[in-house]
Amino acid sequence: MKLRKILMTAGLLLATTTALATPATDELFARYKAEGATGFDAGRGDKAWHKESKGTEGQMMSCTSCHGPDLGKEGKHHKTNKVIGPMAPSVNKERFTDAKKIEKWFKRNCNDVLARECTAQEKGDYLKFLLGK
């Protein structure tokens, strides 16, 4: 019984360190699940990330319009030209360490690109995809 518990916690620890997660994303994944999402899929996130749709101003855009084609490199805001730090946590250690910040940008960027807010499921998929980069 005791051994199982130890093994389990060890396993959990290992999982959190190898699956590229941060306390912030763990918190968010749990929240999204509580909001009705069921399991998150990096492949789905990847597809959605690259999918073009009509933004608030009627033009076709995707996440890459501002974040660029290479997540390991800087992006550029499509309108203001402001440089956006790389999204990949492997090169940008600051990424996905602040739950509030992640949520803030999901709200804004989903609205700008999809002209609506994202669902908990979509946000989780995006996160899963990005965390692996």
Partner 1 sequence: MRTNFKAALLAAALLLSSGSALAEGNFWLWLVNFSRQKEVKAVDNKAWKEECGSCHFAYQPGLLPGKSWAKLLDEKALADHFGEDASLDADTLKEISDYAMANAAENSFYKRSRKIALATEDGEAPLRITEVRYIKRKHHEIPEKMVKGNKDVKSQAYCNACHTKAEEGIFDEDTVDIPNFPDRD
Contacts with partner 1 by CB under 8 A lie at 56-57, 77, 79-82, 100, 104, 107-109, 111-112
Residue 70 to residue 58: CA distance in whole angstroms:
25
CB of 105 to partner 1, least distance (A): 9
Mapped onto helix, strand or coil, the DSSP state of residue 83 is strand
C-beta of 21 vs 66, nearer to partner 1: 66
C-beta of 47 vs 82, nearer to partner 1: 82
C-beta of 11 vs 105, nearer to partner 1: 105
Contacts with 49 (C-beta within 8 Å, 6 or more apart), sequence order: 62, 63, 64, 126, 129, 130
